[in-house]
Structure 1
Amino acid sequence: MKSLQTKIFLFFVLLLLLVQSIALWTLIKGNNAQEQQEISNRLTTAKTIFTEQFNSRRDYLAAFAETAAKDYGIKDVFEDDTRSLLFALNNHRKRINADLAMAISANGNITAQLQVSHLDNAKTKVQKGSELGSQFKHTDWLESQEKSHLYMLDGTLYQLSLSPLSVGTSTIGWLAFGFEINQTLATHFLEITRLEVDFILNQNNQWLLIASSNPDADINFAKNIVNGQTPEQYIAIGELITEFDDQQFGLAMYGLRADIVKLLQEQWWQFLILTFITLLLSLTSAYIIAASITKPIKRLVKQAKMIARGDYQQKIELKDSSELGQLADEFNLMQQAVLTREQEITHRANHDPLTELPNRNILVKTLNQCISNKTSFQLFHLNLSRLKDVNETLGHDVGDWLIQRTADRLKKLSQFTLLCHLGGDEFILLFEKKEKHSITELVKNINTALEAHCDYGGINLQLQVRIGISSFPEHSNVDKTLLQMADTALQNARKNNKNYQCYDKSLDVNSVERLNLINDLKHAISDNQLELHYQPKLDLKTNVVTHAEALVRWYHPTLGMIPPDSFIHIAEQTGQINSLTRWVVATAFSQSATWRKDNIDINVAVNISAENLKEPDFYEFICNTLTANKVPANKVTLEVTESAVVDNPESAIMLLQRFKDTGIKISIDDYGTGYSSLAQLKQLPVHELKIDKSFVQHLHEDEDDRIIVRSTIELAHNMGLSVVSEGIEDDFALRWLAKQGCELGQGYFISRPKPTNDFTAWIKKQEVLSVEKG
């Protein structure tokens, strides 16, 4: 007992026995909990695997259907003979090995249908579907936004995705592709999860067993599992998916509890045997270690202390072939491994794992060093364009590959002293002004390095970047500020669709002012900061003001009057345009009612945004506001821009028709600057066209503008529409437009927009002058 060897050995024996006893007791106590946890984990994992793969099939079908619908080849044969369409449709089907493919015409007829039959010899047969030539039985799906549907055909259930086939703004039909939900799919999940899988469907309150990996599957058993009723001898989990219209799709995954418990018991005995062997080996090892550990132990302790201090240069050399000598060798190897890992950790902390380029840490250190050395430099902040489109279309693997190719090409730019990858699609190039290179020349070199196409699997991908540039010491002497300035310049370049932008103080001012306006606009209505001005519209035949346009003005408490161009776009982007438009409508209609009581009979026009046309209750709001103010519908004009109609023509035309049926006047604002075609204009339920001021302001000296305006007036009159010309700023334009038959005129020559009281006084004065002239 007095020897160190004996004491060490007994210490190890007691310690091992104590540890093993505690571990064994803990494992015994936790065996039941482990069994339940294992079952729960297995069921949860099985359900997760099914959900992810089922959703993956859905997304893959949806993406492929959308891609196929954009194929010009299938559009060319869509309305040709059925044979050509079937051939083109089958080519697309084979790309994803779909089990069902359909083409549906615009009137809902199934013009092409291919169905894959799975034969007993594991082969497949493609044949025409039984519904070919018949009416598609789920026409409501054609306008639905749902990505996935369940489709029953000849007793077979398919997971189906549809995509509209469009030519221009017209939908000429739909394409649909589907995967069969069958025994093969159920067996696939059985192989992954080791649980039997049943697929059931509730159709018209009747449950059907669609497919199962279990030859003895029972519909009532599967239905009970889906409803959460599991027999005691089974482990099971069910899922009821109700997102498919009026159908309920059920999944039942189950297995015998005895099989799981048996497996756990086998693992338990294996663990006991392993524990016994480990204990025996540990005791033997303890005895051997105790016999030889005393002599070199001090050297090992000393070496450990040196490693703790970070000294990895010294090594232990023991002329000993025993385990302790090997331990010394392993200690040396461990020392080298620690050093290697530290170097790897340091490298990883300072480099991007995708491109192996220096990251932000290295960049900040380099910037601080350049600033400390007062070395003039420029930061080029690069943003790779359209990477999001590549990720969404081809996948993130292709996006990562594209980032790596960008890094490879940027590495070849020898003028720059540092290239960093900040992550995602952002790079930083550091140029020290030791050589004379203009910014234009450097940007050109960057674009030249990236201009060659990248070929990925036969797809040519073009590398393009936006660049923001900041400089030291011109802009700042702080690393973070310089990075922020370069980023601000980059955002401005992206916003204005420019290749590059050098930082300027005004960019920060605009950003701060815009941010303040976004925050302040939320309180503009509640704090009564908004006001309506009215600009008259003159009847060019009678020279009498018959109409007025309501124009909103924002009187900011600190910034003063803010023009509409500065905040209308913000309101549309931040979702505040709906409340803003409703305030304008309510205020304008109320003022119209006040004017009528004062015997001022005038039509009031208000501007409507594209977002307003998407509101489900906007029509009811307009009608209720008219009724509340007792304003006749024919005394109100809604001015809608072309782009507002182009965004969603079908719903917009339907809503505008309801307004027209009510008696409200509809005007197309800023005509000539949008994208509507004559065919679309013909379909719009409007009363008048409003010619944009850009065509009117220079009528006196621009013959082309006169030709455009004259043609527009003739076109409108031929279509039964009246015309309003805005931007009248001289007597020539007023008289010329009147001569061309333009009904109404608006512009600074007639009157600028006026506040309500000033406009009321002005209109009364005009009426008096009109009476006196009469």
Structure 2
Amino acid sequence: MGFRLRLALFFVATLVTVQLLTAGLVYEVTRRALVTEGERQLTANAQAFVAQMDDISARIAGNVEVLSLDYALRSAIAERDRGTVLSVLRNHGRRVGASRMLLIGLDGTIEADTADATTTHARFPFPDLIDSAYDRRTAAVVALDGKASWMVVVPIYAPQPVGLVVVNVPLDDALLAHMQQLSALPRDVELAAQSAPGHWAVVARGDRHTGLVDSLVASGQGLPWKPLLTKVDGQEYMVLAQRLKQPKQGTPVVAVLGYSLDHALRPFRAVAIAWAALLALGLGVGLLGVWFTARSVSRPVEALAAAARRIEAGDYRAPASMQRRDEIGQLANAFGTMTAAVHQRELHIRHQAMHDSVTDLPNRVAAEASVDQSLGGDGMDHGALMMVGLTRVPEIVKTMGHALCDRLMRDASERIRRVAVDAYLARTSDAQFMLWLPGADQTAAVAAALRILDVLNEPYQETDVSIDRLPSVGIAMAPVDGSQAGTLLRHAEVAQFAAGGSASALSFYDAATDPHRPERLSLMGDLRDALDRDGLSLHYQPKFDLVSQRVDGAEALLRWNHPRRGWVPPDAFIGMAEDTGNINRVTRWVLASALAQAQQWIERGLPLHIAVNLSTRDLEDADLPARIGGLLSIHRVPASCLTVEVTERAVIGEPDIAVRILRQLAEQGIGIAIDDFGVGQSTFAYLRHLPVSELKIDQMFVKHLATDPNDRVIVRSIVDLGHQLGYRVTAEGVEDQGALDYLASIGCDHAQGYFISRALPAEAFAAFVAGQRGHAAAGAPR
């Protein structure tokens, strides 16, 4: 529903609501006034009805008094001439409209009855009327045989009372209709006689048969002695019951008067029809006026809404100018000004979001979008992406501050622009630039990279300042190294990091040496599953005692047979486990498995010494000594049977913590061996503080021991040093008999290497040891 229609409907609904409320209020006020008027009229009509009945009784009484002066009647009464009496009574009754005339004796017996001869000598049924007739005119309404009549009693004097004349005037429908015509009685009048307690029967009605009494009796309300508003045949009536004068012994007769509210409201229908017509006309005219008003208001608003939708879609055309001076015109002008301002700000924000603030070059986000667009358009699907890194930028920032570093980076960007005019240049990080050479091959990429290295190797000069940037360039080729910008950027960064440590400062991406391959991430999850499901295994490389010429120990080496990749080299996951913090779980598993295997060998009569490697992170675990002690206790393995091997790098990383943990292990009787001895830088600085029991000479000095005199000098020196410090010495990487013989000749304690045996599964290792000891017992040569 549009704004225009809503505005029009609002005005129309308001108009209709006001009119309906006004009509309802007028109707309610009129109805209340008519109800009040009905109550007043009913009360007045009831009193008028009684007054009319009194007038009728007075008129009849006057006529009877004239009758009482008739000499013939008095003579006939005195002579007991019943025939003359009846004749006179009939004649007179016709003149006054009576349906029955009676002559009552002074003793209360009926002496003559013009309607029923059988009642002669019967007692008059209403003696209280006779008693009061001598004092005043007596009249009452009586009900006999389901009919009502007005009974007037007048005494006859001659000159003393000689009898009483009773005139019976019928109160029927005709009389009530006649009374309605002669007075202001309501059209709805009914006379009802009580036939039984709570039950009333209609004995006479006016000129309309409304059924007031029947409706009241049927509803159980009873007759109302005060004005009552009720429903009669679906119409609203004000009803009032008026008691009439009655003899004590007579059946109660009442007059029920009704006032129809519907009939009273009928004159107002014309007013209601006229009002409805005026309302319809006003609604029509108002609707047209409201529609035109809403249209004049909504059109500019709709135009502004359309302009807002265009702005939302990126179309910043200003809305059409409106020649209006009102508030809407002011809003339109302000909207146009705002649109232009928003457009300018968005352009500025977009430029800031997509460019580097120092060099004004595109940033990484813009570079990715541009490279993706280049790879996907004009059939171009190959090119070279170069990542240029300035190695010394972090040091420059710390030493000289950001301001000089920013000037240095601006100078670097200008130098790169001069030698790589056709390349797309962007700054992707604080110390890196990216160049995209669409369509370039490796030769063109190398040529561009060498030009960039030449210009960036020239020192940056300022007053009293000359700074070398140490640039390095990594190159990723599309589509070989990736078909999307994000992948190419990541691979070029890997190559640039590799180039930073090379002599040429230039390197192409090599997937085989990439330590950040995505599959390595999933490999860590697989390693955790392997630890949970016991998917790892230990192989044991024999340690050969050069003195006794027998195997007396083994080094536990971790092996992983991946369900999909097969055997995974330890170098492929041990480093990741250290980086991700999972190495502690791996070490705990290796220790528990190695000690459990040592217990089995001890039970089988093979008391072998077990060596387990610890990582740098293991030496940061303060609970490690207690954990190893607990494992030794659980598996019932002597502490002297266990040696932990640590590298020089592990000790150098956190020397204080490492020394404290190693001393706690040595205090338990566990051996401490320095692995890969001889390739570190600072071992001698800590060696005198470590509780070392064994040195293991790195294999790089042992592999060519039989042929290289320099290696012999080094190995002999290490063996002599170790023995003088009280350490055992083990040589790793023995691969021929000459090396083994030389180690034995210089007093080396143990040897390890493929010449003795590769690392073997537990059962194969036990068989190897048993076989080796059998040969030694038989005196067979090794």
TM-score bin, normalised by smaller chain: 0.5 to 0.7
Structure 2 unaligned blocks of 5 or more = 1-298, 324-329
| Pairwise CA distance, 1:351 | 2.9
Q: Which residue of 1 aligns with 2:609?
A: 603
1:747-766 matched pairs, under 5 angstroms: 747-766=753-772
Q: Which residue of 2 aligns with 1:719?
A: 725
Pair 1:486-2:492 in alignment: no
8 Å CA contact 1:589, 1:626 repeated in 2 = yes
Counterpart CA distance in 1 for 2:449 and 2:635 is 61
| Pairwise CA distance, 1:506 | 4.6
Pair 1:422-2:428 in alignment: yes
| Pairwise CA distance, 1:406 | 3.5
Q: Which residue of 2 aligns with 1:644?
A: 650
Cα distance change, pair 520–327 in 1 and its aligned pair in 2 (3 A) = closer
The partner residue of 1:517 within 516, 520, 523 is 523
8 Å CA contact 2:495, 2:510 repeated in 1 = no
| Pairwise CA distance, 1:710 | 1.0
Q: Which residue of 1 aligns with 2:686?
A: 680
| Pairwise CA distance, 1:387 | 4.4
| Pairwise CA distance, 1:472 | 4.5
1:117-128 matched pairs, under 5 angstroms: none
| Pairwise CA distance, 1:493 | 3.8
Q: Which residue of 1 aligns with 2:596?
A: 590
Q: Which residue of 2 aligns with 1:571?
A: 577
Pair 1:364-2:376 in alignment: no
Cα distance change, pair 473–620 in 1 and its aligned pair in 2 (3 A) = closer
Counterpart CA distance in 1 for 2:765 and 2:740 is 21
| Pairwise CA distance, 1:454 | 4.2
8 Å CA contact 1:551, 1:753 repeated in 2 = yes
Helix, strand or coil: the match of 1:438?
helix
Counterpart CA distance in 1 for 2:421 and 2:384 is 12
Q: Which residue of 1 aligns with 2:737?
A: 731
Helix, strand or coil: the match of 1:430?
strand
1:282-321 matched pairs, under 5 angstroms: none
RMSD: 4.2
Pair 1:624-2:605 in alignment: no
Counterpart CA distance in 1 for 2:723 and 2:442 is 64
Counterpart CA distance in 1 for 2:339 and 2:754 is 85
8 Å CA contact 2:697, 2:731 repeated in 1 = yes
8 Å CA contact 2:699, 2:732 repeated in 1 = yes
Counterpart CA distance in 1 for 2:372 and 2:438 is 11
Amino acid at match of 1:490: E
Pair 1:352-2:356 in alignment: yes
| Pairwise CA distance, 1:507 | 6.4
Cα distance change, pair 749–393 in 1 and its aligned pair in 2 (3 A) = same
Counterpart CA distance in 1 for 2:317 and 2:685 is 81
Cα distance change, pair 549–459 in 1 and its aligned pair in 2 (3 A) = farther
Cα distance change, pair 761–316 in 1 and its aligned pair in 2 (3 A) = closer
Cα distance change, pair 655–303 in 1 and its aligned pair in 2 (3 A) = closer
TM-score (norm: length of structure 1): 0.54
TM-score (norm: length of structure 2): 0.54
Counterpart CA distance in 2 for 1:366 and 1:759 is 57
Helix, strand or coil: the match of 2:688?
helix
Amino acid at match of 1:627: S
**Which 10-residue stretch deviates more, 564-573 or 357-366?**
357-366
Pair 1:533-2:539 in alignment: yes
Q: Deviations over 1:414-435 (max 9, x none)?
A: 4433212335444321224589
Counterpart CA distance in 1 for 2:434 and 2:622 is 47
8 Å CA contact 2:474, 2:497 repeated in 1 = no
**Which 10-residue stretch deviates more, 630-639 or 335-344?**
335-344
Amino acid at match of 2:476: S
Q: Which residue of 1 aligns with 2:378?
A: 373
| Pairwise CA distance, 1:631 | 1.2
**Which 10-residue stretch deviates more, 338-347 or 634-643?**
338-347
8 Å CA contact 2:475, 2:495 repeated in 1 = no
Pair 1:469-2:472 in alignment: no
8 Å CA contact 2:555, 2:612 repeated in 1 = yes
Cα distance change, pair 760–420 in 1 and its aligned pair in 2 (3 A) = same
Q: Deviations over 1:558-598 (max 9, x none)?
A: 11111212211111111111111111111111111111111
Q: Deviations over 1:355-383 (max 9, x none)?
A: 22134336624652564223563222334
Cα distance change, pair 317–597 in 1 and its aligned pair in 2 (3 A) = closer
Helix, strand or coil: the match of 2:517?
helix
8 Å CA contact 2:385, 2:434 repeated in 1 = yes
Cα distance change, pair 456–637 in 1 and its aligned pair in 2 (3 A) = farther
Amino acid at match of 1:734: L
Q: Which residue of 2 aligns with 1:743?
A: 749
Counterpart CA distance in 1 for 2:704 and 2:554 is 23
Q: Deviations over 1:600-621 (max 9, x none)?
A: 1211111111211110110111
8 Å CA contact 1:380, 1:468 repeated in 2 = yes
8 Å CA contact 1:695, 1:709 repeated in 2 = yes
Amino acid at match of 1:368: Q
Q: Deviations over 1:93-144 (max 9, x none)?
A: xxxxxxxxxxxxxxxxxxxxxxxxxxxxxxxxxxxxxxxxxxxxxxxxxxxx
Pair 1:689-2:692 in alignment: no
1:65-80 matched pairs, under 5 angstroms: none
Cα distance change, pair 739–374 in 1 and its aligned pair in 2 (3 A) = same
Counterpart CA distance in 1 for 2:616 and 2:515 is 30
Q: Which residue of 2 aligns with 1:28?
A: none
Structure 1 unaligned blocks of 5 or more = 1-297, 319-325
Helix, strand or coil: the match of 2:559?
strand
1:646-661 matched pairs, under 5 angstroms: 646-661=652-667
8 Å CA contact 2:387, 2:496 repeated in 1 = no
Counterpart CA distance in 2 for 1:599 and 1:740 is 31
Q: Deviations over 1:431-472 (max 9, x none)?
A: 245899633222122222322444689776543444332344
Amino acid at match of 1:556: H
Counterpart CA distance in 1 for 2:689 and 2:750 is 23
8 Å CA contact 2:319, 2:332 repeated in 1 = no
**Which 10-residue stretch deviates more, 611-620 or 493-502?**
493-502
8 Å CA contact 1:303, 1:316 repeated in 2 = no
Helix, strand or coil: the match of 1:754?
coil
| Pairwise CA distance, 1:340 | 4.9
Cα distance change, pair 494–519 in 1 and its aligned pair in 2 (3 A) = farther
Amino acid at match of 2:575: H
Cα distance change, pair 547–474 in 1 and its aligned pair in 2 (3 A) = closer
Counterpart CA distance in 2 for 1:416 and 1:515 is 38
| Pairwise CA distance, 1:720 | 1.7
Q: Deviations over 1:500-541 (max 9, x none)?
A: 433456567971332221221112211111111111111111
| Pairwise CA distance, 1:669 | 1.0
Cα distance change, pair 465–620 in 1 and its aligned pair in 2 (3 A) = same
Counterpart CA distance in 1 for 2:616 and 2:472 is 30
Counterpart CA distance in 2 for 1:685 and 1:399 is 48
| Pairwise CA distance, 1:623 | 1.2
Counterpart CA distance in 1 for 2:341 and 2:745 is 93
Q: Which residue of 1 aligns with 2:558?
A: 552
8 Å CA contact 2:730, 2:750 repeated in 1 = yes
8 Å CA contact 1:531, 1:553 repeated in 2 = yes
